[in-house]
Amino acid sequence: MRDTVADLVQRGRALPPEEREKLVEQLLESLNESAVRELDATWAAEIQKRLAEYDSGAVAAIDAEEVFAKAARLAQ
């Protein structure tokens, strides 16, 4: 027997909130799988670029406390 959308909605609503949240996340992700893969690939390339810049000395690391203090100042 094939479940209808209404049946699936009813069964989904019977789940505990945490399980419903997981279900919704997975369903939304399934709608955007190609976009997610592209975004993941883009971020992977950006991470590699930034690591290479750091390793080569082209950029310097900034202490987290300094970053958070600057963010706090800007947020005021």
pLDDT in tens, 4-26: 999 999 999 999 999 999 999 99
**Look-up: residue for tokens 């203090």?**
69
**Percent helix / strand / coil, the chain, rounded to 5:** 80, 0, 20
Give the count of domains, the chain: 1
Residues 31, 1, 15, CA angle at the centre, nearest 5°?
A: 55
55 HSE (CA, 13 A, CB side): 6
What is the reported pTM?
A: 0.52
**Look-up: residue for tokens 């590699």?**
48
Residue numbers of the domain that contains 26:
5-75
pLDDT in tens, 22-42: 999 999 988 888 888 899 999
